DNA sequence: TAAAATTTTTAGAGTTGCCTAAAAATGATT
DNA sequence: AATCATTTTTAGGCAACTCTAAAAATTTTA
């Protein structure tokens, strides 16, 4: 039996190993879960005993196949619930993460299957993150960002790299939501800020911090 | 902050005080929560400190106003989720209780409100139990049972008193589901078993154990 | 009403998951 | 290579919730 705390550790280790930067070091996991390094060491030992995590003292941790399957299952539930909250209950995309953090721990495979079917098997969550299927297969995560769009070219916004509420609210305010078509009008070398045309209409200026956190797909 | 365990104790005390039979004695609570009497004593002390429960040593416990409000809120969530699971996800009425036991602890008043609205403010859950509204107002629970229906009279099935899966599955099998119209054809004094006409069609014989656990409303 | 049966509480302890403080290991700097 | 800074682990402890065994209170029965 996997506890709620254990599920959260597995998810944290998974996501730290996705973004390539030192992987799941003790401190990185502690930071991610807002806990202390000593607590992480305790848990890594336990998860290692349970054969869910590969762990050797003083080294970053990684997931075993079993650990990976559990992490992906939790992520599947998180993203399906986020989709449900936005599509059916009409929450905004900056309001769902916290609730999904709770819902992702509900244990019932029948529930997940039926929810998936009720939602008509969505492929992406409200933030553009891919939803793993029943077998744990997961689409490659987006990798091209708006800051890499050449001047004069067009693309669609397909996801966000940064998930903070303030970022999501900013995007709502300037109408840079998922699905929006954008054209790169100009980019300034000085600070990499850019002028972007939104949905074939108005032009706005966005900072590098914005454009490097928006995933796009070329048209 | 109320923990998951505390919420379950409050709910147990609430329901033991509804059915009039000695109320929430230590042993009754232990039985209901499948735990030991000594654990119950500990928790009653804690809930009493928190002013959620009225408790004096060796006496059955009852809820304070604050404890009652919390219990009713948890029950509201339980029954709304059960309704969701049956109406939207197409679960059967004998499959939802266990899942709702988990979902009832999700903390977000916005979620409950939006779920209620999405479901169009249902008044009863799949077992005929009343769903409290946002303000905690709850319809009187049904009180007439099929065993009290006089011979020759008709009624609708509106709820179940017993919630076990085997009972619910039996009812499915003999088509004595919620909303069914029944007519009492005959009752045998010997064992109080009864012949019932179902939906104006076939007659079946049911034991006293069945008929005393079915809530009805006279036509 | 005294003994017996039952219920309830207390005492002591285990598990999980977290913490602080201190020790040990690792990595970077001279 | 020795020192310093950082990271990680260990040691010891706390809170929530649970348990078993034993003691105390209450209720039932004779
Ligand atoms: Mn999320
Ligand atoms: Mn998301
Ligand atoms: Mn239920
Ligand atoms: Mn119910």
**Rounded to whole angstroms, how far apart are CA atoms A45 and B108?**
34
Q: Can you give the distance from the CA of residue B207 to the C1' of nucleotide C11 in angstroms?
A: 49
Determine contact, residues A133/A75, Cβ cutoff 8 Å. no
Residue A215's DSSP bridge partners are A145, A159
Share above pLDDT 70 across residues of chain B, in percent, rounded to a whole number:
100
Q: Cα dist. B31→B8, B26, B40, B54 in Å?
A: 13, 9, 10, 20
Q: Ligand 3: distance of its center to the CA of A56 in Å? A: 45
B107 contacts on A by Cβ (under 8 Å): 102
Kindly tell me if the per-residue pLDDT of B153 is higher than 80.
yes
- pLDDT, position B19: 84
- pLDDT, position B20: 76
Q: Return all residues near B87 (Cβ < 8 A) that are at least 6 apart.
A: B119, B122
Question: Which chain C nucleotides are covered by protein, judged by CB under 7 A?
Answer: 7-12, 16-22, 25-26
Q: What confidence tens digit (pLDDT) does each residue in B171-208 have? A: 999 999 999 999 999 999 999 999 999 999 999 999 99
Q: Cα dist. B111→A8, A203, B209 in Å?
A: 22, 37, 39
- pLDDT, position A100: 98
pTM for the complete prediction? Answer: 0.95
Strand ranges inside chain A, DSSP E: 53-54, 62-63, 154-160, 181-187, 194-198, 203-206, 214-218
Q: What is the mean pLDDT of each successive set of 10 residues along chain A, which is 219 residues long?
A: 97 94 94 98 98 97 98 98 98 98 98 98 98 95 93 97 96 97 97 97 96 96
Give the domains, in start order, of chain A with CATH numbers.
4-63 (1.10.10.10), 146-218 (2.30.30.90)
What's the DSSP call for residue B146?
G
Residue B22: pLDDT band by 50, 70, 90 thresholds? Answer: confident
Q: What is the residue-averaged pLDDT of chain B? A: 97
Kindly tell me if the per-residue pLDDT of B140 is higher than 90.
no
Query: Which of A5, A88, A110, A111 is the mutation pick for testing B, counting most B CBs within 10 A?
Result: A111
* Long-range contacts, A28-37 (Cβ 8 Å, 24+): A28/A60, A29/A61, A33/A8, A33/A9
Q: Can you give the distance from the CA of residue A39 to the C1' of nucleotide D14 in angstroms?
A: 14
């Amino acid at each position: 039996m996997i506890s709620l705390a254990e599920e959260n550790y597995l998810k944290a280790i998974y996501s730290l190993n996705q973004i390539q930067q030192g992987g799941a070091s003790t401190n990185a996991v502690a930071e991610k879960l807002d806990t202390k390094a000593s607590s992480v060491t305790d848990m890594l030992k336990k998860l290692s005993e349970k054969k869910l995590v590969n762990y050797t003292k003083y080294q970053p941790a990684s997931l075993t196949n079993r650990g990976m399957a559990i992490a992906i299952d939790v992520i599947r539930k998180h993203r399906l619930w986020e989709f449900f909250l936005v599509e059916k209950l009409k929450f905004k995309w900056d309001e769902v993460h916290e609730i999904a953090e709770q819902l992702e721990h509900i244990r019932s495979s029948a529930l997940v299957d039926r929810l998936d079917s009720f939602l008509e098997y969505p492929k992406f969550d409200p933030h553009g993150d891919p939803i793993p299927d029943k077998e744990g297969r997961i689409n490659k995560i987006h990798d091209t960002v708006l800051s890499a769009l050449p001047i004069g070219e067009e693309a669609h916004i397909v996801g966000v790299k940064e998930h903070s509420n303030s970022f999501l609210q900013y995007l709502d305010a300037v109408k840079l939501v998922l699905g929006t078509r954008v054209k790169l009008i100009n980019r300034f070398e000085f600070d990499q800020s850019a002028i972007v045309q939104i949905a074939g209409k108005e032009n706005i200026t966005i900072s590098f911090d914005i454009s490097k956190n928006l995933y796009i797909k070329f048209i």
